[in-house]
Amino acid sequence: MKEITYPSFYELKEVLENLTNKSFNVAFGLERGIIISRSNHANTASELAYLFYDKEDIDEIRNEAYRRNTNHTLSGFQIKSESSIELPSVFESIISTGNIEIGQSLSSLTEEYEGKTKIFTSMMEYRKRKIGRIEFLQEETINFKFNFFQIDQKTWQVEVDCVRSNDLGEIKKIFEKNLSRETDFEEIELNSLTTEKTINFFDSLANKFDENWTFKDIKHLTLKRGSENDEDIIDVSSREEDQESDNLSGITQAILEGKNLRENSFVKNSVENGYKFTSMTYEFDHSTEPKTIQIKAEFKGRPKIFETSIINFMAKTGLGAESSELKINQSQKRKYCSMLWNAAKETYYELLK
């Protein structure tokens, strides 16, 4: 690993002020006998940045900055072969022969059952160089989990718990390198859907999440037009108290009433002006328990590949059914994201017929 020059005061202050929070900074200082009282976050960051730290201290700051700026998403692809394929054996061969890039590593497979389906799970680690003015954040070691399972003799599905946008591509490249040329890799791609089918895609997901969850609301949507290098973007949020919020209410009502979303005036006008749906954030209520989930479905990247992520998970309490954030672990988040991703996969293949 490349030696990193000790960060400047400016670099440390930028990280401690903008990429970590006050509670971390205070605890970090106390562990080193540094007490900064009656100080706001910016001043606390500034005071800590003046001091000199050893490598372990800098690593701790770096890791916290990366941790707080990691947004888990779930994406995936299917591997299809003209003949029978035994993916676990292929994977173990990749590990034993070391047929991966320098800086990459893979953990041995673990196995578990979900119902009658055997799930194989591993973890990948790789280093990524970042372009930026803060040098000691320019090389990041990324770890992410992924699993795969068999659909039939010639088809396997891979699901990736991404912490960075290019994680899916990293594991996909390893499989591409080690499987025969007769193998196809299928992702949920925006370019494969017409504008009309994209509307149908997002419309359908509202009612396909899970039988235990009921669609309640659309919290946010994004429409784009133009090339990937010169995109015109419309972001519509329910938090806006203006025409945009009314547009979302109209879309929500159309979905609830089972109407054709293409006939909604806002959607129709957007399509006529060349826009295409690229993301939608849904809110679902649990059918029997007082909890609510907000989950985002989005086409992202170049080319735009489908992924899902948890925006919020809330519990309803009291007579007024007030909402408060409910903490769930990463395994639970992955489960909910996988549910929506698989509903999307089913919808996607139906629309391609």
Could you list the pLDDT tens digit for every one of the 353 residues in the chain?
Answer: 455 578 888 888 888 887 788 878 888 998 888 887 777 888 888 989 989 898 889 888 877 776 665 678 999 999 999 889 999 999 999 999 888 888 889 999 999 998 899 999 999 998 776 645 555 555 667 889 999 999 999 999 999 999 887 899 999 999 999 998 889 999 999 999 999 999 999 999 999 999 999 999 998 888 888 766 566 887 777 654 555 566 777 787 777 776 767 677 888 888 888 889 899 999 999 999 999 999 999 999 888 999 999 999 998 876 666 778 888 888 899 999 999 999 999 999 999 98
**One domain, residues 82 and 165:** yes
**One domain, residues 51 and 105:** no
Pick the last residue of a domain from 29, 51, 68: 68
For residue 90, give the CATH number of its domain. 3.30.160
**One domain, residues 174 and 303:** no
Asked if residue 2 belongs to a domain, the reply is no
pLDDT for residue 339: 96
**One domain, residues 321 and 203:** yes
d(CA 313, CA 331): 14
Q: Count H helices and E strands in the chain, helices first.
A: 10, 13
Domain enclosing residue 31, as ranges: 9-68
Q: What are phi and psi of 20, to 5 degrees?
A: -125, 170
With residue 12 as reference, give the H or E element that holds it. Answer: helix 9-18
Asked if residue 3 belongs to a domain, the reply is no
**One domain, residues 54 and 81:** no
Asked if residue 1 belongs to a domain, the reply is no
Instruction: Assess contact for 306 and 188: CB atoms under 8 A.
Output: yes
Question: Roughly what angle, to the nearest 10 degrees, separates helices 243-256 and 265-272?
Answer: 110
**One domain, residues 22 and 109:** no
Instruction: Assess contact for 253 and 243: CB atoms under 8 A.
Output: no
Candidates 121, 104, 123, 135; CA nearest to 12 is 135
d(CA 277, CA 190): 9
Place of tokens 């280093």: 127
**One domain, residues 205 and 348:** yes
**One domain, residues 200 and 162:** no
Question: The pTM is what?
Answer: 0.77
pLDDT for residue 238: 62
- As for how many domains the chain has, the answer is 3
Contacts 24+ apart (CB under 8 A), 47-53: 48/12, 48/16, 49/9, 49/10, 49/12, 49/13, 49/16, 50/9
Pick the last residue of a domain from 143, 169, 187: 187
Asked if residue 93 belongs to a domain, the reply is yes
Asked if residue 265 belongs to a domain, the reply is yes
d(CA 119, CA 101): 25
Asked if residue 4 belongs to a domain, the reply is no
Instruction: Assess contact for 133 and 13: CB atoms under 8 A.
Output: no
Q: How far is CA 284 from CA 202, 204, 211, in A?
A: 14, 14, 11
**One domain, residues 204 and 337:** yes
Asked if residue 233 belongs to a domain, the reply is yes
**One domain, residues 143 and 158:** yes
d(CA 317, CA 264): 35
d(CA 332, CA 337): 9
Pick the last residue of a domain from 157, 187, 217: 187
pLDDT for residue 131: 47
* b (16+ CB within 10 A) / e for 50-87: eeebeeeebeebbebbbeeeeebbbbbbbbbbeeebeb
**One domain, residues 202 and 337:** yes
- Whether omega before 290 lies within 30 degrees of 0, making that bond cis, reads no
**One domain, residues 78 and 117:** yes
